[in-house]
Structure 1
Amino acid sequence: MTTYKTRAEVPLHEKWDLTDLYSEQSKWDEDYLEIEKIANDLKGFDGEIHDGQSLYHYLKQREELSFLFNKLYAYAMLYVDEDTRETTAQSLLDRAKQLSVKVSSATSFFMPYLLSLDEDTLKGYISTEERLAYFEEDLFDSFRYKQHVLSKEQEGVLSQLGEALSVPSQTFGMLNNADIKFGEVTGKNGEAVELTRGMYAKLIEDEDREKRKEAYKAYYQPYVQLKNSIASTLSAAIKNNVTLARIRQYPSSLEKALFGDQVPKEVYENLILTTKKNIAPLHLYTQIRKEKLKLDELHQYDLSVPLVGGVKQVISYDEAFDIMCKALAPLGKEYIEILHEFKNGRYIDVRETPGKRSGAYNLGVYGVHPFILLNHQDDLDSLFTLVHECGHGVHSKLSSQHQPQITARYSIFVAEVASTVNEVLLINYLLNNEQDSQVRKHLLNHFIDQFKGTFFTQVMFAEFEQKIHEMAENGQPLNVDVFNQTYETLFREYNGDEIVFDDEVKYGWSRIPHFYRPFYVYKYATGFASAIHLATKILEGDQKTLDAYLKFLKSGSSDYPLELLKKTGVNLTTPTPIENALSRFSELVEEFSKL
């Protein structure tokens, strides 16, 4: 395992090259001043757009500003993430954030102005100014919101309430990230140490059951202690969603959340219904887990420990990169060439160093290229992370290359498709090329657990959100007991009766930050199911699906997400893609049980 004490020690080819954004800081400063100038110019359009020509000039300048601002902000953010302790980088990011407020304020007049026009007037502007054709789809997409937008005065009042409405989410964030102190666990030498989130993630997978149990109890302790406070923040967040949906005249808070992506609520309901109809293989897996761990009683703290021990593969970064290229070969030559460009062009920041931001991500910068942050640990998980983030990276690169700026960014709804297709191709390649039965078992176990976390758990969360929002819409009270009962019932339905329920299980809802971003988690599950469907077809050698998939990667947001997926053969308005994914899960569990 390669560990570096400073960033300077990391070989050059394993660090990203931010000079692709700005060769020197003075150029960043020049763009800063330019953005300020354009923002001031845009402010001058308030009350002055009366024809197609002035509308075009406003939109054109706004797009130019957006291009410069994204580049400027990306540089500051990436620079901070290299070493979060670096004060020069922090001050750049602070300046970029201040600039963002100026930009928002300069352009805030536009949406109410646009929606105050009637459709014929807008069509008239477009017919007299042909350069507006480029913005036409975008303008009419904003127009969809017309029936849900209030008068200028009411919108003004709502925007002033914005900060107050975000309080429940911020309060939970402060409790969860700043105030919560976990209980104590036994350290290496028998001393008591305070549990951290990072330690918990490792301990809950520990082979020693007593360590798992101790960590589990310590982890849930503060959530149980703060149950009433957290219940009141969650209840307030839900009531805010419900109230806003009513004020804006949406049929329900669910439909308000789905409106932007033009997803009918049947897609959401169908996901839950189809999953629950096909839940038996997950119950079987829980049973296998109990038998494999030789337990009389299976508890929640037994659900994350790997079932195959003793497999510790060391996979260096270069080796991981080679494996990735072989595994993704079915996607064709162009795809693999792009991956080599990522490595040779230094788009990837590979190593963990002191102060570097944890985790991994891909950031596409239009007109430049994607940047990928990793904290590579030379193990199997790191190989999966590399393949996952490169999936996002290639999606960003191809969309930027083949789409104009206005449609280059893809929606969150389809974001996980490209990364998960890559993971399915990787697991398939590894299983086909592995003779060692222990390693094969380990790989299957890894993928089944990932499937469970990215698909089943998210569907359970999605159903929990739906149920508690419906209660609020029907005027039922929301409190600890209601949340506990709803969550525990669902946990039992999804995970089966093999589990002995500790008191902590029912408090699972209290630690999920995603619930403060309503109806978001279902996208993980639909993205995952779509990817399983596509990867299976690609591995069967279906050329039509492969061509359609590569076209999808080049499509950005040139159409609504459901339509983009339909063109690849995935129709989420039917149960088929969900059923296909679940039958794949069933096969994995079956194969694992035989091994």
Structure 2
Amino acid sequence: MNKNVNKVIITLILSILCIFGINIKSTLKSSEVEANNEDAIEAMNTNDDDEKKEESKFDYAKACWNLQSLYKSDDAWKKELKSFVKDTKELKNYVGKVTKSKTHITFALDIKEKLDIRANRLYAYVKLKKDINKNSYKYLDMTEEMGKVYKDYSRICSDLELEILKLSDDEYDKIISNNKINKKYGMYLSDIRRSKKHYLDDKSENILSNVSNISSLPSKIYELFRNMDKNTNITPAEYASIIESGARQDRKDAYQNEFIAYNDNINTLSGLLVGQVRKNIFYASERGYDSSLDMYLSSDNLNTKTYDKLIETVNKNTDSLHKYVSMRKKILKLDKLYYYDMFVPIVDPVDLDINYEKGQSIIYSALSPLGKEYGDILY
């Protein structure tokens, strides 16, 4: 794998990890990687601007998800969004009095639970629509609209959580002693209380909330680049299929076509990465965490020692990975192994054309040990 491509891949992985809130705190261990030849390097830095996009042979009708189970149309989604905004006012009425009694906190959390489900459905619909229509400004605008609505809703939820945090230990214990509250919302309330020392005063929390539109810019800009400005001749679904193809030149062409945009914009992407890292450091510092890694792991009640142990264990056991890569190169009968050779099957693949309905049935059967109710969600 050549050094330019390696830099692109590392930058891409780091950007994605940081967007999802993961702070890299390990030293990347170098391994013996065979250098690419000059022709491959030249190919990576050549723009095929004159190359016309071939007509897609991918059958989207069979592969695209049916979102009508969420909303029948975009208009139905917009109608539900307006209804959601209206109904959040009911939850807002509990701000300032959610901890007044066990009844108040139960009613408030019941309302929040229903609103959370609706918010997830609203977001899922527009997110999946945007994934299908990568270059559609319509769904980009709808996503922005959903983001603004969710921000306002999150602020209401934060106000309620802040009230719960302000409870003394005795007051909190009295509320959590209620079996109904403890059984249904015990874990949620426990997670809130666990973060008590990292919450700030009302004024500071409001400032951090208002800054979120600015601090989220690196991830939003990266998303725009990835979905709108990264010109490519193949769709993600086609790339996933080609990269597993037995035709090596097709794999190489698809790989270069997919990643050349990252190489051409490496300085811009590096700048976005720096912005994301600085954002993480800022929030971690303001909330009193030891590091941004500590901040993100704390949401899952994990400590940094667990993360460090994971990295240490992986680094100590890379021999198996190296052995696998060597075996793959030998089985594929290749003199050199590149990244685009890592996905092609090394045994004769079983060509199964499984449609959606059959796949759904297989998954339903696989979930049967979990109970009928669990599997019925698929239908």
TM-score of the aligned structures, taking structure 2 as reference length: 0.65
1:51 equivalent to 2:90? Answer: no
Deviation of the 1:64 alpha carbon: 2.7
Paired AA for residue 110 in structure 2: E
* Equivalent position of 1:257 in the other structure: 296
Say if 1:272 and 1:313 are closer, same or farther in 2 by CA, change over 3 A. same
- Give the whole-Å Cα distance in 1 for the aligned partners of 2:250 and 2:60: 30
CA 1:159–1:199 in structure 2 vs 1: closer, same or farther (change >3 Å)? Answer: same
**How is 1:433-444 mapped onto 2 (pairs within 5 angstroms)?**
none
Amino acid at match of 1:47: G
Q: Relative to structure 1, is the Cα distance of residues 138 and 308 closer, same or farther in structure 2, using a 3 angstrom cutoff?
A: closer
Task: Please list the CA deviations of residues 250-291 of structure 1 after superposition, one character each: whole Å capped at 9, or x if unmatched.
Answer: 122211111111112232222222223222222122112222
> Does 1:70 pair with 2:120?
no
8 Å contact kept, 1:126–1:133: yes
| Contact 1:246–1:252 under 8 Å retained in 2 | yes
Question: In the alignment, is the contact (CA less than 8 A) between 1:38 and 1:65 conserved in 2?
Answer: no
Q: How does 1:498-509 map to 2 (within 5 A)?
A: none
The C-alpha deviation readout for 1:501-548, integer Å capped at 9, x for no partner, is xxxxxxxxxxxxxxxxxxxxxxxxxxxxxxxxxxxxxxxxxxxxxxxx
Structure with the larger RCO, 1 or 2 (CA within 8 Å, 6+ apart):
2
Tell me which residue corresponds to 1:583: none
Corresponding position of 2:332: 293
Q: Specify whether residues 200 and 108 from structure 1 end up closer, same or farther in structure 2 by C-alpha distance, changes over 3 A only.
A: same
The answer as to whether partners of 2:99 and 2:105 remain within 8 angstroms in 1 is: no
Segments of 5+ residues of structure 1 without an aligned counterpart are: 183-193, 343-368, 372-595
Letter in 2 for 1:236: G
Alignment counterpart, residue 227 of structure 2, candidates 149, 165, 177: 177
- Deviation sequence 1:215-273 (CA, Å, 0-9, x none): 33333322111111111111121122122212212122211111111112232222222
- Residues 312 and 99 of structure 1: CA distance in aligned 2, closer, same or farther (over 3 Å): same
CA contact (8 A) 1:115 1:143 kept: yes
Match for residue 91 of structure 2?
A: 42
- 2:200: which partner in 1? 150
How far did 1:196 drift?
4.4
Map Cα deviations across residues 473-493 of structure 1 (whole Å, 9 max, x no partner): xxxxxxxxxxxxxxxxxxxxx
Cα distance in 2 between the residues matched to 1:68 and 1:336: 27
- Superposed, 1:450-469 pairs within 5 Å as none
Judged with a 3 Å threshold, the aligned counterparts in structure 2 of structure 1 residues 334 and 297 are, in CA distance, closer, same or farther, namely closer
Pair 1:119–1:222, CA change in 2 (3 A): same
Would the alpha carbon gap of residues 226 and 63 (structure 1) be closer, same or farther in structure 2, given more than 3 Å must change?
same
Asked if the contact 1:35–1:68 (Cα under 8 Å) also holds between the matched residues in 2, the reply is: yes
Distance change >3 Å, CA 123–CA 47, structure 1 → 2: same
Letter in 1 for 2:208: L
1:352-382 per-residue CA deviation (whole Å, 9 max, x = no partner) reads xxxxxxxxxxxxxxxxx356xxxxxxxxxxx
- Tell me if structure 2 keeps the 8 A contact 1:207–1:305: yes
In the alignment, the residues of structure 2 paired with residue 28 and residue 283 of structure 1 have an alpha-carbon distance, to the nearest angstrom, of: 49
Q: 1:98 to 1:58 in 2, by over 3 A?
A: farther
Match of 1:114 among 164, 189, 194: 164
Structure-2 residue corresponding to 1:461: none
Corresponding position of 2:253: 214
What displacement does 1:102 show? 5.0
Q: How do 1:168-567 residues align onto structure 2 when only pairs under 5 Å count?
A: 168-182=218-232, 194-309=233-348, 311-315=350-354, 328=366, 334-335=369-370, 342=376, 369-370=377-378
Q: Distance in 2 between matches of 1:230 and 1:163?
A: 19
Aligned equivalents of 1:100, 1:15: Cα separation in 2: 24
How far apart in 2 are the matches of 1:17 and 1:172?
29
Partner AA of 1:63 in structure 2:
D
In 1: Cα distance, 2:176 partner to 2:193 partner: 14
Aligned partner of 1:278: which letter?
Answer: N
Q: Is the contact made by 2:360 and 2:378 (CA closer than 8 Å) also made in structure 1?
A: no
Structure 1 residues 288 and 257: CA distance shift in structure 2, 3 A:
same
Distance change in 2, residues 1:99/1:168 (3 Å): closer
Which of residues 103, 108, 111 in structure 1 aligns to 2:153? 103
In structure 2, the residue matched to 1:397 is none
- 2:333 counterpart SS class: coil
Measured in 2, the distance between the counterparts of 1:105 and 1:278 equals 45
Percent identity over paired residues? 25
Residues 51, 125 of structure 1: 8 Å contact kept: no
| Distance across 1 between alignment mates of 2:301 and 2:262 | 36
Q: Distance in 2 between the 1:31 and 1:260 partners?
A: 30
Contact 2:88/2:153, CA 8 A, preserved across alignment? yes
What is the number of equivalent residue pairs in this alignment?
A: 315
Is the Cα–Cα contact under 8 Å of residues 31 and 68 in structure 1 kept in the other structure? Answer: no
Aligned amino acid, residue 116 of structure 1: K
Counterparts of 1:257 and 1:29, CA distance in 2: 33
Q: Could you say if the C-alpha distance between residues 108 and 334 of structure 1 is closer, same or farther in structure 2, counting changes exceeding 3 Å?
A: closer
Given the superposition, is the C-alpha separation of residues 69 and 312 from structure 1 closer, same or farther in structure 2, using an over 3 Å criterion?
closer
The letter of the residue matching 2:111 is E
CA RMSD, 1 decimal: 4.5
Contact preservation (8 Å) 1:245, 1:251: yes
CA contact (8 A) 2:331 2:346 kept: yes
- Name the SS of the counterpart of 2:195 in structure 1: helix
- The one-letter code of the counterpart of 2:229 is D
Residue type of the alignment partner of 1:111? E
1:346 match: none
Return closer, same or farther for 1:51/1:178 CA change in 2, 3 Å cut-off.
same
AA matched with 1:204: I
